[in-house]
Amino acid sequence: MDFSYFANIDWTQTGSVVLVGLVVVFAVLIILVLICMLLGKIFSSISKNSGSASKKEEKAPAKPVQTPSAPKQEVLPNVEAGVSEEVVAAITAAIACMMGPDKPFALRSVKRAKTGRSAWNAAGIAENTRPF
């Protein structure tokens, strides 16, 4: 074997290139970790702020304060546009059946469920995730 090739290599330059490469890679990794931690703190503070805002809304009394002389008012649920009265009545009857006769309840709102995926989207996912 001829080791004369290795005798002509400048080992100081090779070592410095390797060292600079390692320093750059680890510096970029540390910067990425710091960015991820910063984004995590930002999003957690945003979610805490939105959670406290919704708690303030929940603390508001749902029923108006009534005086003894005033007749009792029926609280109607907040119904989204497009939901018929029959659907609201059916939902209320189903809840009443599940709760039982001795447990009072109040239906506060009725909203349509968000549809997850379109038919084409669901078909594509089913096609691509089907087992072999």
Residue 122 CB contacts under 8 Å (≥ 6 apart), including other chains:
116
Encode pLDDT of 94-119 as tens digits: 888 888 778 877 777 777 777 778 88
What residues make up the domain containing 15?
1-60
pTM for the structure as a whole: 0.36
Over the chain, what is the mean pLDDT?
78
Q: Answer whether residue 69 is part of any domain.
A: no
Same domain, 101 and 51: no
Residue 111 CB contacts under 8 Å (≥ 6 apart), including other chains:
80, 83
Q: Answer whether residue 43 is part of any domain.
A: yes
Cα–Cα distance, 108 to 75 (Å, whole number): 8
Encode pLDDT of 116-131 as tens digits: 788 888 889 888 888 8
Burial class (CB in 10 A: 0-12, 13-18, 19+), 22: exposed
Q: Answer whether residue 67 is part of any domain.
A: no
Running DSSP on this structure, what letter comes out for residue 107? -
Structurally, the chain folds into a number of domains equal to: 2
How many Cβ atoms from other residues are within 10 Å of residue 44's Cβ? Answer: 10
Encode pLDDT of 65-83 as tens digits: 555 555 555 556 666 666 7
Same domain, 124 and 97: yes
